[in-house]
């Protein structure tokens, strides 16, 4: 049963107690120094290790690039660095405690003060793994924020978020909105999704495999992948033939940047009864979720997907397969430069 609720005096009291503990300790993350000493924070080392262990992140991250969004005191950033990754850490304000730990650890983590809506591949690059832990419900525009996280992710994003239920993956797709300090007396808590809603948001943002791990005390841990599972080793169906990928507004293959557009894929396949769950569409090698699939008759099919935001102007390649086949041929689409757009998105 959910124990942290909006408008609940017990929840507000608990949050205030946690803030008092933070004020006493001064640190939220505990930090272990090279000589074995530990700077004690609100969250013990064992708790922090348990949080990151709920995601399928390898112990050896040599050659990988990792982004830690909402780094706070930096334990997760420094842990990824300890595993061998090149790490960038960002937060919306400059945390002195992060810089102290950075110095004491002799860290090379690239620390930047940025809001989520300032993150973009053009300014930060892309990352094999993105940590997005305890951030989503603090943001006024959660789906837009997840879209940005998806843009930055090459392989997997680790998303940890407050949820209003106990982890009902098949529960209602709904979200509470907190106008002021409704949740815990904090004005920076904006949303409380159900677990099912959190998963749906991650898929709608562009992640094609969204896997729910543990839900612990209303904290859901979700591994969000940019790529589909590998094609079958022994396909039972012939590859589809992709005829065209067209703009849903004018039926050309040209797409103005920063417009809310859909790509209509027209293809042939002898497989009967194809559904959205059967489709594995890719754009420039990254998976994109199908939003609809419909038969056109005579082995003809149409599958639609939302054009991801943040694509660079120029040519891009679309291809697709089904769960039972190898990839189709690729066809080009063209993203046109945005006219007078102030948003690098």
Indicate whether 114 and 53 sit together in one domain.
yes
CA–CA gap between residue 45 and residue 41 (Å, rounded): 9
Indicate whether 246 and 192 sit together in one domain.
no
Q: Which pLDDT score is estimated for 340? A: 56
CATH number at residue 29: 3.40.50.150
Last residue of one domain, picked from the residues 174, 191, 225: 225
Q: Which pLDDT score is estimated for 345? A: 47
Q: How many helices (H) and strands (E) in the chain?
A: 7, 20
Each of the 345 residues of the chain gets a pLDDT tens digit; together they read 567 888 878 878 877 888 888 788 889 999 999 999 999 999 999 999 999 999 999 999 999 999 999 999 999 999 999 999 999 999 999 999 999 999 999 999 999 999 999 999 999 999 999 999 999 999 999 999 999 999 999 999 999 999 999 887 888 999 999 999 999 889 999 999 999 999 999 999 999 999 999 999 999 999 999 999 999 999 999 999 999 999 999 999 999 988 899 999 999 999 999 999 999 999 999 999 999 999 999 999 999 999 998 899 999 999 999 999 999 999 999 999 977 544 444
Task: Please indicate, yes or no, if residue 48 is contained in any of the structural domains.
Answer: yes
Q: Which pLDDT score is estimated for 207? A: 98
pTM, to two decimals: 0.93
CB 66 within 8 A of CB 128: yes
H helices present in 54-194, as ranges: 75-82, 96-105, 121-124, 142-152
CA–CA gap between residue 38 and residue 59 (Å, rounded): 22
Angle between the N-to-C axes of helices 75-82 and 96-105, in degrees from 0 to 180, rounded to the nearest 10:
30
Residues 6+ apart with CB under 8 A from 272: none
Indicate whether 299 and 194 sit together in one domain.
no
Indicate whether 91 and 155 sit together in one domain.
yes
Task: Please indicate, yes or no, if residue 215 is contained in any of the structural domains.
Answer: yes
Task: Please indicate, yes or no, if residue 232 is contained in any of the structural domains.
Answer: no
Indicate whether 130 and 71 sit together in one domain.
yes
CA–CA gap between residue 33 and residue 29 (Å, rounded): 13
Domain that residue 297 falls in:
241-336
What per-residue string of b and e applies to 269-306 under the rule 16 or more CB within 10 Å gives b?
bebeebeeebbbbbbeebbbbbeebeeeeeeebbbbbb
CA–CA gap between residue 272 and residue 307 (Å, rounded): 26
Q: In the Cβ-directed half-sphere of 213, how many Cα atoms lie within 13 Å?
A: 20
Token digits of residue 102: 């950075």
Task: Please indicate, yes or no, if residue 230 is contained in any of the structural domains.
Answer: no
Indicate whether 59 and 178 sit together in one domain.
yes
CA–CA gap between residue 226 and residue 281 (Å, rounded): 11
Provide the number of structural domains found in the chain: 2
Task: Please indicate, yes or no, if residue 160 is contained in any of the structural domains.
Answer: yes
Which residues are 110's β-sheet partners? 88
Angle between the N-to-C axes of helices 45-53 and 75-82, in degrees from 0 to 180, rounded to the nearest 10:
70
Last residue of one domain, picked from the residues 199, 225, 251: 225
Q: Which pLDDT score is estimated for 138? A: 96
Q: Which pLDDT score is estimated for 6? A: 86
CB 220 within 8 A of CB 167: yes
Q: Specify the 3-state DSSP secondary structure of 287.
A: strand
Last residue of one domain, picked from the residues 191, 225, 259: 225
Residues 6+ apart with CB under 8 A from 159: 132, 133, 136, 146, 149, 198, 202, 221, 222, 223, 224
Token digits of residue 252: 């050309």
β strands within 197-289, DSSP E: 209-216, 219-225, 241-247, 254-256, 262-268, 279-283, 286-288
CB 117 within 8 A of CB 146: no
CATH number at residue 285: 2.60.40.10
Indicate whether 217 and 257 sit together in one domain.
no
Indicate whether 107 and 204 sit together in one domain.
yes
Indicate whether 256 and 194 sit together in one domain.
no
CB 136 within 8 A of CB 164: no
Task: Please indicate, yes or no, if residue 109 is contained in any of the structural domains.
Answer: yes
Task: Please indicate, yes or no, if residue 345 is contained in any of the structural domains.
Answer: no
Indicate whether 293 and 216 sit together in one domain.
no
Task: Please indicate, yes or no, if residue 50 is contained in any of the structural domains.
Answer: yes
Indicate whether 65 and 159 sit together in one domain.
yes
Indicate whether 82 and 218 sit together in one domain.
yes
């Amino acid at each position: 049963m959910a124990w942290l609720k909006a408008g609940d005096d017990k929840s507000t009291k608990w949050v205030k107690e946690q803030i008092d503990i933070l004020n006493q300790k001064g640190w939220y993350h505990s930090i272990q120094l090279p000589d074995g000493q530990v700077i004690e924070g609100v969250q013990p080392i064992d708790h922090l290790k348990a949080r990151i262990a709920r995601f399928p992140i390898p112990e050896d991250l040599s050659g990988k690039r990792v982004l830690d969004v909402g780094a706070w005191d930096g334990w997760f950033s420094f842990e990824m660095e300890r595993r061998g990754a090149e790490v960038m850490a960002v937060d919306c304000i400059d945390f002195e405690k992060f810089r102290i730990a950075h110095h004491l650890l002799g860290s090379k983590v690239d620390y930047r003060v940025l809001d989520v809506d300032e993150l973009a591949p053009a300014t930060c690059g892309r990352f094999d793994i993105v940590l997005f832990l305890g951030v989503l419900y603090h943001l006024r525009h959660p789906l837009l924020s997840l879209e940005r996280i998806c843009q930055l992710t090459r392989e997997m994003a680790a998303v940890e978020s407050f949820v209003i239920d106990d982890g009902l993956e098949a529960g209602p797709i709904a979200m509470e909105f907190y106008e002021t300090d409704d949740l815990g007396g904090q004005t920076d808590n904006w949303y409380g999704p159900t677990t099912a809603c959190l998963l749906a948001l991650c898929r709608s943002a562009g992640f094609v495999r969204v896997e729910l791990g543990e839900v612990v005390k209303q904290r859901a841990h979700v591994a969000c992948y940019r790529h589909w599972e590998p094609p079958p080793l022994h396909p039972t169906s012939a590859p589809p033939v992709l005829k065209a990928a067209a703009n849903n507004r004018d039926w050309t293959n040209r797409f103005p940047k920063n417009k809310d557009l859909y790509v209509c894929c027209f293809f042939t396949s002898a497989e009967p009864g194809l559904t959205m769950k059967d489709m594995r569409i890719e754009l420039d090698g990254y998976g994109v979720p199908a939003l609809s699939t419909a038969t056109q008759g005579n082995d003809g099919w149409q599958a639609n997907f939302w054009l991801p935001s943040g694509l660079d102007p120029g040519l891009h390649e679309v291809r697709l397969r089904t769960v039972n086949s190898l990839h189709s041929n690729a066809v080009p689409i063209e993203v046109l430069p945005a006219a007078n757009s102030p948003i690098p998105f």
